Amino acid sequence: MTTPKSIISILTLLVMTSCSRTIKLDEKDFRWIPYKGNETLVFSSTTGDTDTIFLSGSNRQITPNDPLAVFPTNFEHFSISARHSDPSPPNGNHRYLEGAFLQLSAFKNKQAYLSIDLAAKDSWFYGGNFLELKDLDTIEQSTLNTKSNIYTDIIVLTPESNEYFDRSNFLIKVYWSKSNGLIRFDKKDSVYWELTKKYGP
């Protein structure tokens, strides 16, 4: 038997659900993400070293901006995780870590933001957070010739600040292809890494 108390609880839940708002990603927001989430990316450096980033899955979920709010606004997020080399391994001993590779998020203004969480062997990009897609679309695309391919839709990303410039793994440039993703990243000591092989769909 339904009690008055349970009826009030149900009505309260219905009111809260109807008053909450969900902002979702649009399919066109994925135009800067050319990955499925299970690719293997092999990079070679100008010093003859190699490193591999293993994309390890994708996730799409909706989360509230403030779980404690009476009428929270929910936002959709898409992320791809990766297994990558520790950019600052303890005692210099190489090891792999699991972490984010990139994230795509919807926000209040209905604009989508891309975050590139690039970490690799002795390389760390400290400036890839909350890149608004409409701003990425205004960056002039250029051509990049590598040993394995020619890319004609490259944008160059730079750090937001030089706060960590004194670190040996500091990256000064990241080359991102709209159709192929991460292609190259440059360190401050003139060493750079290029994509040489890509396995997967």
- Any idea where the domains of the chain sit in the sequence? 21-199
Task: Convert 92-117 to b/e letters by CB count within 10 Å (16 or more is b).
Answer: eeeeeeeebbbbbbbeeeeebbbbbb
Give the model's pLDDT for residue 3: 59
Tokens of 197: 């092989």
What are 173-186's pLDDT values in tens digits? 999 999 999 999 99
Give the model's pLDDT for residue 128: 81
Quote the CA–CA distance of 155 and 146 in Å, as a whole number.
Answer: 15
What are 154-166's pLDDT values in tens digits? 999 999 888 999 9
Give the model's pLDDT for residue 195: 98
Per the CB < 8 A criterion, the answer to whether 104 and 25 are in contact is yes
Quote the CA–CA distance of 85 and 97 in Å, as a whole number.
Answer: 6
Give the model's pLDDT for residue 53: 98
The dihedral sign for the CA sequence 83, 37, 110, 62:
negative
pLDDT beneath 70, residues of the chain: 1-20, 65-71
- Global confidence as pTM: 0.85
Give the model's pLDDT for residue 124: 95
Per the CB < 8 A criterion, the answer to whether 87 and 96 are in contact is no
Task: Convert 140-178 to b/e letters by CB count within 10 Å (16 or more is b).
Answer: ebeebeeeeeebeebbbbebeeeeeeeeebbbbbbbbbb
- Cα separations in angstroms, 182 against 2, 30, 86, 124, 197: 58, 15, 18, 13, 12
Give the model's pLDDT for residue 14: 43
